[in-house]
Amino acid sequence: MSSPRPRAAYLDHAATTPMRPAALTALTAALGHTGNPSSLHTAGRAARRTVEEARERLAAALGARPSEVVWTAGGTEADNLAVKGLFWARRTQDRARRRVVVSAVEHHAVLDPAFWLAEHAGAELVLLPVDRDGVVEVEALRAELEANGDTVALVSVMWANNEVGALQPLDDVVTLAHRHGVPVHADAVQAVGQVPVGLAASGVDALTVSGHKVGGPGATGALLTRRGLELTPVLHGGGQERGVRSGTLDPALITAFAAAVDEAVAGREAHAARVGALRDDLVRRVLAQVPGATLRGPADAARRLPGNAHLTFAGCEGDSLLYLLDAAGVEVSTGSACQAGVPRPSHVLLAMGVGEDDARGALRFSFGHPSTSDDVDAALAALPGAVERARAAGLSSLVDA
């Protein structure tokens, strides 16, 4: 009989993280209840109460009013609602508002809707450049708004980059955009529970949150929208969520999502300190033990997510490294999970000025609430050998060619 495989060192929490005990408890308690929150009978009213209590809990955790929370089926839907909904609403108010300004390193849940609007809805897309750390060039935004502010429909800049962990200068983005009457959307999917996130305090007009990134269930998310912000619906149907987002709500998923966010935000400082120390240990040891390893994103820990370490390995293919590490029981990512398996370099690294060859050798290590020093030790036990094998395979293929 073969011995069971030891517990995997899971270092891909930026892709998804295990559910928190509080979320599991809330989910299982609610799953036994029946009722459509839109129904008027007793079961329906009980389901509505669960939804509204979760709305209040999520809003309190993220510095918003309950009326500013719009439930969605995940971060992707929330980003689509923000980008498309803001664009169409602004165009309705003022036909000149046709420019959509987004950073070049946004998640594809923002980039793809923006490109779609340019191809199908008459939008003019402007991609803001970033510096070598993956941080938006504020002066480029200033120049764009000073030249074309009257025609900009919205600005979308993520709170923190999902690949290299770079925190974005949202204070400056909001100040500049509001000076020209332009609303700002921020995808905060990676940031919640790692750095302070608040709708009112940040000044952003719309904010995306996702459940499974913070220890909640999948297929849950929310778009927080400043009171008075007009959005054109993307989904049409029963008129739920004040007509902004139609679709029957799932009280069990929603209450578990709110419980996860509440717990993640309440424990944020201790969590950030703990995973930041694990991340720093991993980076230090990788750079010391693996020749040709380069840290990408801000070197200053205060300017990046505490749970993120993104490195490139010269002469390697990221996919090869991923499979070699996986065979050794270490689970990591080459970047955004939504782009996994696509044989092209990360658009984030290319926007940062990283060459295509170097960009192909990227790995993202990301820590979460269950992470321990054992995960770091496992990664360092497997990584040097995996890099050697990947480089040897690359050299062999060059010789064969």
- The residues annotated as belonging to the active site are 338
Structure token digits, residue 381? 């036990």
Spatial neighbors of 4 by CB under 8 A, at least 6 apart, are: none
Sheet arrangement for strand 69-72: 69-72, 221-225, 206-210, 184-187, 152-156, 99-103, 124-128
Instruction: Evaluate whether 58 touches 258 at the Cβ level (below 8 Å).
Output: yes
- Give the H or E element holding residue 312: strand 308-313
Cα 241 to chain centroid distance, Å, stands at 23
CA–CA distance, 334 with 326 (Å, rounded to integer): 12
Residue 241, classed as helix, strand or coil, is helix
Q: What is the 3-state secondary structure (H, E, C) of 257-298?
A: HHHHHHHHHHCHHHHHHHHHHHHHHHHHHHHHHCCCEEEECC
Could you identify the residue written with the tokens 């991609």?
127
Cα dihedral value 273, 274, 276, 277, nearest 10: 110
Instruction: Evaluate whether 380 touches 289 at the Cβ level (below 8 Å).
Output: yes
- Give the H or E element holding residue 93: helix 75-93
Report the candidate in 111, 120, 112, 110 with the shortest Cα–Cα distance to residue 88: 120
CA–CA distance, 91 with 98 (Å, rounded to integer): 7
Q: Is the dihedral of CA 196, 198, 204, 207 positive or negative?
A: positive
Could you identify the residue written with the tokens 């840290």?
295
Could you identify the residue written with the tokens 């979320």?
23
Q: In DSSP terms, which residues pair with 363 in a beta bridge?
A: 311
Cα 104 to chain centroid distance, Å, stands at 15
Spatial neighbors of 308 by CB under 8 A, at least 6 apart, are: 14, 164, 165, 190, 279, 297, 364, 365, 366, 367
Pairing mode of beta strands 9-10, 293-296: unpaired
